[in-house]
Amino acid sequence: MTADTPVTPDTADEPSVTFAELGIDPRVLAAVDDIGYETPTPIQAATIPVLLQGNDVVGLAQTGTGKTAAFAVPALSRLAELSDVNGVSRDTQVLVLAPTRELALQVGEAFSSYATHLEDFTVLPVYGGSPYGPQLAGLRRGAQVVVGTPGRVIDHLKKGSLDLSHLQYVVLDEADEMLRMGFAEDVEEILSQTPAEKQVALFSATMPPAIRKIAKKYLRSPQEITVKAKTTTGTNTRQRYLQVMGSHKMEAMTRILEVGDYDGVIVFVRTKAATEEVADRLKARGYAAAAINGDIPQNMRERTVEALREGKIDILVATDVAARGLDVERISLVVNYDIPHDTESYVHRIGRTGRAGRSGEAILFMTPREKYLLRAIEKATRQPVELMRMPSTEDVNQTRKQRFAQQITDTMESEDLTQFRELVEQYQDEHDVDAVEIAAAIAVMAQGGRPFFVEELPEPAPRSRDRERGRSDREGEGGPRREPRVEKGMATYRLAVGHRHRVSPGSIVGALTNEGGLSGGQIGAIDIRSTHTLVGLPENLPASTLDRLAGTRINGELIHLEADHGPVGGGRGRPKGTSSYQDRPRRNGPARGGESRGGYQGKRTDRDGDKPFRKPRHKSY
């Protein structure tokens, strides 16, 4: 690649210039002032002047550093100057290629916000998963800026609906990500159909050989600008981690949400199935949550993100791919519910908060076995991730009391109490009951049988080496499970629904918390079998809880909750009070007590490398 000497701006730590000093067109500068930007970020301060001079640029900077404004502001300045000379044109003059639909939408919105003072300006996002009709209509009307994903841009080129003959400016945003996703050939095909005389800006977090090849072929003596930063993560984001057992993650998260003052929240999990499960469990606890993953139709994903932006939902549970490029201003907390296996994903995740000068928090859940991943993250980001304490039962209960009192105050100040005051006074006169007792009874009614205070989480039983080897699937390890010690005060209960009824751990937890009024901390291990499920619950459930659960259904089936006393249906049962994790016999060896059974598939080697262990067919949670 032929390039000038790489520029590493001295302003990387603290830019000393203002936007007004960068030579931006006054109309674009006015829009920047309207938004409230004061000083440019390092990549903006270094890149905007070079692009305004007409040079090609290769910008190397991490996500969340302000790259969008770095290329959008000079591009719009050039369009403004061209319209002054040649009049307003409806031809496509700027093309931005982005790896994902979400990023394309984000970039399109940024262009629109910077162009509010330009006359007759249009930006059009084009991306897959969305109907062609509106995009075709927009292209026919004319759009000076087209922002699109490579696949959909090629579709429009083949249809003849996108004309690039008047193109002045091309941007490749997150070029390394586009190549990683397999768009290398598409990008080259698009660039080959653009005019020879054009300006190109390429932005990437890394510079692999494939990127250098494209830069050498399609950029003319580009200026390479590298922004050196102290870390690869935003300094406005407070990073903390919590060491927590897999079975206690949901309880830990709900406690954090209860005691903290957060606006929008994104919860990251590893799998598509986990997005739905975690979102369902959050909704069962009364939170406005929704899932977003690659299997959800694009139009529904867009509506979900818009609902998050508008405050109709507060928590988005997402996979890495689904959330890439997502920028919602109200995100104040990112929860890594499942720790990512690569540091780049971690940086992208927490980059969803603390952007463009805003402050944010990132909390990482980590099991003891995953400590090596935490060390890798700290090494890559060159930032320590501080240990946090799980909010205690006292913390949560104190917060609940304060909110209860505040609700009373707010209601008294904002609502007309006349009708209900008369009813209470009438009841008090007729029954000669103190008003405090009546108020307490009304509060119990409003609570709907749900516990007001949370209880302490059960202490984890001491782990032997064998038991550590046999931990459940929720920590990513399979294997024969040895029977753990029964937690004090807990017993095993049986539900008459299982795999055959298509139940999930989330639906079981939702039924027990919503209908039975149990808290997450009162629900132990869940073992889903073919026709029934075994779940750990408090040993002496009150009759009121059993009554509330008597008519509860999951997927239309009555759960028939009862204590598990022994053999059921001819199979080996377990006595009341034992754990849902029984010793699992091996296929080629006798089980405890001389029994020999099959039932396991797959074969791996345990952590010591000398003993095979097998993954159970049934699901545990």
Give the dihedral of Cα atoms 179, 181, 184, 187; nearest 10 deg. -100
Q: Are residues 97 and 32 in the same domain?
A: yes
User: DSSP assignment of 563-613, as one string?
Assistant: E--S--TTS----TT--S-PPPPPTTS--GGG-----EEEEEE-TTSSSEE
Cross-strand pairs, 527:
534, 620
Both structure tokens of 539: 């040993």
Q: Which long-range contacts (CB under 8 A, 24 or more apart) does 251-255 make?
A: 251/457, 251/519, 251/520, 251/521, 252/365, 252/390, 253/282, 253/335, 253/337, 253/365, 254/282, 254/285, 254/287, 254/520, 255/390, 255/391, 255/395, 255/396, 255/454
pLDDT for res 357:
60
Distance CA 114, CA 121 (A): 11
The CA distance from 303 to 312, in Å, is 11
Q: Are residues 34 and 68 in the same domain?
A: yes
Both 547 and 614 in one domain: the answer is yes
Give the integer Cα–Cα distance in Å for 10 and 610: 55
- 171 in the same domain as 52: yes
Here the tokens at position 436 are 């405090």
Task: Report the pLDDT value the prediction gives residue 400, as an integer from 0 to 100.
Answer: 79
Question: What is the Cα–Cα distance from 247 to 241, expressed in whole angstroms?
Answer: 17
Q: Of 504, 621, 521, nearest to 252 (Cα)?
A: 521
Token pair recorded at residue 602 = 């797959």
Whole-angstrom distance, CA of residue 532 vs CA of residue 189? 56
pLDDT of the residue at 13: 42
pLDDT at position 588, please? 39
Asked if 136 and 161 touch (Cβ cutoff 8 Å), the reply is yes
Give the total number of structural domains in the chain: 4
Max distance between CA atoms of the chain, in angstroms, equals: 93
178 close to 153: Cβ distance less than 8 angstroms: no
Q: What are the structure tokens assigned to 95, written together?
A: 């093309």
**Is the same domain home to 37 and 85?**
yes
- Structural domain contains residue 353: yes
Three-state secondary-structure class, residue 162: coil
**Domain carrying residue 519:** 465-620
Q: How far from each other are the two terminal CA atoms of the chain, in whole angstroms?
A: 53
Residues 357 and 424 in one domain: no
Q: 534 in a domain, yes or no?
A: yes
Let me know whether 221 and 296 are in one domain.
no
- Residue 504 shares a structural domain with residue 357: no
Tokens 């579709």 belong to which residue? Answer: 155
Tell me if 172 sits within 8 A of 194, measured CB to CB: no
Q: How far apart are CA 479 and CA 600, in angstroms?
A: 9
Taking 3-state DSSP, the helix, strand and coil percentages for the chain, each rounded to the nearest 5, stand at 40, 15, 45
Structure tokens at 384: 């320590």
Minimal CA–CA distance to 234: which of 102, 363, 347? 347
Same domain, 387 and 408: no
Looking at residue 26, what is its pLDDT?
93
Main-chain phi, psi angles of 394, to 5 degrees: -65, -40
pTM: 0.47
Copy the structure tokens of residue 371: 């400590």
456 domain-assigned: no
Report yes or no on 422 lying in a domain: yes
Residue in 524, 576, 515 with CA at minimum distance from that of residue 547: 515
Of 182, 203, 226, the last residue of a domain is 226
Q: What is the pLDDT of residue 89?
A: 85
Handedness of CA 357, 358, 361, 364 (dihedral sign): negative
| Contact (CB, 8 A) for 381 and 350 | no
Instruction: Give start and end residues of each alpha helix (H) in 2-41.
Output: 26-35
452 domain residue, yes or no: no
φ, ψ (nearest 5 deg) of residue 475 = -105, 15
- CB count, 10 Å around CB of 359? 13
Are 105 and 154 part of one and the same domain? yes
What's the chain's length in residues?
621
DSSP character string of 237-270: EEEEEEE--GGGHHHHHHHHHHHS--SEEEEE-S
Q: CA torsion sign, 206 to 208 to 210 to 214?
A: positive
Tell me, what CATH number does 168's domain have? 3.40.50.300
DSSP type of residue 22: G
Query: Is 410 contained in some domain?
Result: yes
Contact at 8 Å (CB) between 363 and 334? yes
Domain finish residue from 177, 197, 226: 226
The stretches in the chain having pLDDT less than 50 are 1-5, 10-15, 230-231, 460-486, 567-621
Q: Residues near 396 by Cβ (< 8 Å), separated by ≥ 6?
A: 255, 258, 259, 454
Task: Specify the 3-state DSSP secondary structure of 172.
Answer: strand
Model confidence over 576-599: pLDDT tens digits? 333 333 333 333 333 333 333 333
The reply to whether 596 falls in a domain is yes
In this structure, is residue 5 part of a structural domain?
Answer: no
Do both 48 and 164 map to the same domain? yes
CA distance linking residue 31 with residue 116, whole number of Å: 6
Residues 161 and 301 in one domain: no
Q: Nearest Cα to 512, choosing from 457, 425, 462, 449?
A: 449
Q: How far is CA 57 from the centre of its chain?
A: 32
